Structure 1
């Protein structure tokens, strides 16, 4: 589909490759009078951002101030400095901290964007200086689907609806609402154009400057020129089997939560013109619950039970923030002779007796009866037994070790203190407290007993929300060569860009928030250019 206004030729001021959080850059450019084109590889606008809860980790913005949260750049800087360290340039963090609040102010000035709202989600590293138990995450307002009019079919469905074919509902929330609001605002400028089903082939370079893109449309090669520059904002390479095997051999793209088109096309195009890269071995990792006949379901943490490896040993706090949890699984897999992928999630009948546990779990499919026990058992992704010993045999772990670990955990549940891994101690652990085990089991709501037969074991694999390594940039989002020089006319953001956050995930909304900021900074730099 082509949505273009006042198009007289295939020459623009700005071209944005990718239609997720990069739409912020497109909107910022178009709002400044720059003729802007967004090209999207797939038939839908939104990328992985449309799948997300659209939390935005942006310290010091207007939504936080309205909620009475005291968190500006000065409060967040020591937190980021401590957790990111030398894994990413400090200049990127500083640019992010300075631009986040003005960006939100500008977005809220567009009538279609509405006002963002703060919702307390604790920062993910509770012991770091500057960490906020109240959190810094904001969200976009919901939007009636009808508001989109003829544009509605363009917006990518929520992941659960896309997988099941179910109707996504009359009200758009989370990432869908964010993308829809950005799309409406962008088209309202009168300077915006969108081409879907238009995959990037390569960048056009003249005299060392990026001046456009070559793409494919309707089976034909087309050249689209950009006077001011090109923003590469097309996600990571999580759906590229060759690159995953090269940089992340323990993980498969079949486990990823990334959008279908994310095969690294923009990343490779940048590399072909001499761009430097960093952290290609990294991803926004997360646990993935294996479900029948589908990709694993992303969720934030367990509701009850424990995780054990192939030796039957519990090895971590199962309620760690999801990226920390994913990294811990990967660390254990790489540093042990015992397999940790898949992890065995062992729990008891209390899990199903607790209405909260599956009716509204953290980041689970929003569909009725999604966890159908019989279907899971039939597919072999769930095992059930009357005793722990029988369950151990079904999943192939030593029975003595499993029963010992469950008994130890039950002692922790009764005392209220996880002496081994501190589950339930951090603000994040307690954040979604109503989905932990039944509260009457003990003083700590995140440590429910495992003693009510039958017993179950599900499979947890290492999933991700997308890869995060990418092209090196400066604090204006300009892509750099290995020698540190700027590739004129080329910008990157999102998962096509080597992340401002380095190897870590600071808090809910880190990926989307930083993607938006660096798309915005790219647009500001192009708007200031007189070339």
Structure 2
């Protein structure tokens, strides 16, 4: 290997944005290298839900349109955004989707995912796109090198779940036991994989998307270089000419003839940047993205060559909690509580014992409400999820499984009154979690009244299709409101976690990184969470992170190819190889 290597395009980061940029650039005849600082590829996307939000995709006969998509977004966006970039997303996302479908990715709308603001004008239930389960063995020797899903996407940290299986089991819907037994049988009957690894060969959710993408990446001959960290961008005569990287202490240069695409995630694991940008910084350890992965290296490298930033004050919020690892109690797992906080027989209160949000709203709105309440009262982040024995029997509470899987006797003794609190009365529970007892009892009394009436007079919980999707259909008259009255009572602390950062490098409609004078930095592009979201601080629907990440990776590759004189139809042999 020479000290300097040359490629047409260097992509920094191996998540959905980077993989899409690499695939599109390669299909247009450009040589491409993906560099990834981790020892596994797939990025945060591989450990995500893997949903892609694409308005006006026209995959099915429906009446969605460009104008309706923009009207929905315009009704919700709460701060100034780049109009041309927003419109580019709405226009280019369907094209990106058609491109990956042409490569053989089995993508289709998920008709059970409402937009996150279902009562807003032109909201729909078919804009979120999912990828079918992927057989990891198709990756051959690369199978063990893809980032593995978190325990939260598995049953008993072993059996991978797709979205419908998750809904069935998490809500104990009709046939959920049969669903679980089928998953277990599929896993244990796969003897060849069990001899290789404990990992389930069924790649679901984000792993499914990334499995399908990387099957095509490898088929196209794109090199993915792991354990290779970006140190700095090479700026020569005002243009980005490549990257300086390091691998196990060895530093070297890679020349990029036509462009560098930064696609390496946000800065949620960099406490200094959180403290600098966020209104309520929170701790890195509250993030639910891969531990210590996204530290803002590409953001920092971009700023060093004069790039501007936008929308850095917010994350893609999600409620999280932490619990010890069962096998290593000195270490903690961060687990999502995205849907648990809105289940019936529970309520969320700040440390004054007062509600502050419709608990069943989207997880990003829940986190935004935590931030707002913290700024207002100073008594949030963390807040408390309070629930009774009925909830405990039926539902998860972050990392605490329902009693059928994790009865109280199975909870390790060092978890009690540290991670999960239990008491026979609300007064005793309030004393344990240092919340005013009178305020907590008043809140619970109000919730019980709302449960009986079926109407939440404060925050309208359970009044729209999104809320109801994660409720309990057996609870009447409102599936999101159940009485809190069966002892013992429980509480877990809920942190303002995140799925990454919404802000980053300022970019234009062509995914070009902009400087402080709003001018493109030649040959520098960005996509994904190291770039500013086209939505500002809005999270419009499931897949609102991955949708723009893949779209602007696609857009960046198109612009690079056009500038290089390569913007022709995709090479026939590449498409054939991927089909």
TM-score under structure 1 length normalisation: 0.91
Shift of 1:282: 1.1
Is 1:482 aligned to 2:516, yes or no?
yes
- Corresponding residue for residue 72 of structure 2: 79
Match of 2:317?
285
Q: CA deviation at 1:82?
A: 1.9
How far apart are residue 328 of structure 1 and its match? 0.2
Structure 2: runs of 5+ lacking an equivalent: 159-197, 325-330, 566-579
Match of 1:444 among 471, 474, 478: 478
User: Contact 1:362 / 1:432 at 8 angstroms: preserved in 2?
Assistant: no
For the Cα contact (< 8 Å) 1:161–1:168, is it kept in 2?
A: no
CA distance in 2, matches of 1:32, 1:223: 25
2:318–2:363 CA contact under 8 A, matched in 1: yes
Q: Over residues 113-137 of structure 1, what are the superposed CA-to-partner deviations in whole Å (9 max), with x where a residue is unaligned?
A: 23434342111123322112x2410
- The equivalent residue for 1:470 is 504
**Cα distance in 2, alignment partners of residues 122 and 463 from structure 1:** 23
Distance 1:106 1:124 in 2: 26
- Is residue 103 of structure 1 aligned with residue 83 of structure 2? no
What do residues 448-476 of structure 1 show as CA deviations (whole Å, max 9, x unaligned)? 11011111111111100011210001100
Contact 2:228/2:247, CA 8 A, preserved across alignment: yes
Q: Does 1:266 align with 2:298?
A: yes
1:231 aligns with 2:227: no
Check if 1:415 corresponds to 2:453. yes
Q: Secondary structure at the match of 1:121?
A: coil
Partner of 1:93 in structure 2? Answer: 86
Quick one: structure 1 residues 524 and 364, their matched pair in 2 at CA, closer, same or farther if it must change by over 3 Å? Answer: farther
Pairing of 1:20-419 with structure 2 (within 5 A): 20-21=15-16, 22-63=18-59, 65=60, 68-84=61-77, 86-111=79-104, 113-132=105-124, 134-160=125-151, 167-190=198-221, 192-248=222-278, 249-259=280-290, 260-292=292-324, 293-301=331-339, 302=341, 303-304=343-344, 305-337=346-378, 339-354=379-394, 357-358=395-396, 369=405, 374-375=410-411, 378-379=414-415, 380-419=418-457
Residues 377-411 of structure 1, C-alpha deviations (whole Å, 9 max, x = no match): 63221111111111111111121111111111100
**Is the contact made by 2:505 and 2:514 (CA closer than 8 Å) also made in structure 1?**
yes
Task: Name the count of aligned residue pairs.
Answer: 510
Check conservation: 2:79, 2:537, Cα contact below 8 A: no
Q: 1:313 to 1:374 in 2, by over 3 A?
A: farther
Q: Which range moved further: 376-385 or 178-187?
A: 376-385
Report the Cα distance in structure 1 between the residues aligned to 2:9 and 2:406, rounded to whole angstroms: 43
Task: State the distance in 1 between where 2:407 and 2:286 align.
Answer: 18
Q: Partners in 2 of 1:239 and 1:128 — Cα distance?
A: 33
Runs of 4+ in structure 1 over 4 Å off: 161-166, 361-366, 370-374
Q: CA deviation at 1:287?
A: 0.7
**Which runs of 5 or more structure 1 residues have no equivalent in the other structure?**
none
Whether contact under 8 Å (1:279, 1:498) holds in the other structure is: yes
- The DSSP-based 3-state class of the residue aligned with 2:254 is strand
8 Å contact 1:117–1:138 — kept in the other structure? yes
Contact 1:478 1:522 in 2 (8 A): yes
CA distance in structure 1 between the aligned counterparts of 2:454 and 2:359, rounded to whole angstroms: 15
TM-score, length-scaled by structure 2: 0.84
Aligned-pair distance for 1:162? 10
Following TM superposition, by how much is the alpha carbon of 1:186 offset from its aligned partner in structure 2, in angstroms?
1.5
Determine the C-alpha separation between the residues in 1 that align with 2:365 and 2:409.
Answer: 29
1:430 aligns with 2:468: yes
Q: Specify the SS of the correspondent of 1:10.
A: strand
Say which SS state the counterpart of residue 318 (structure 2) adopts: strand
Distance 1:162 1:100, change over 3 A: closer
Match of 2:187 in 1: none
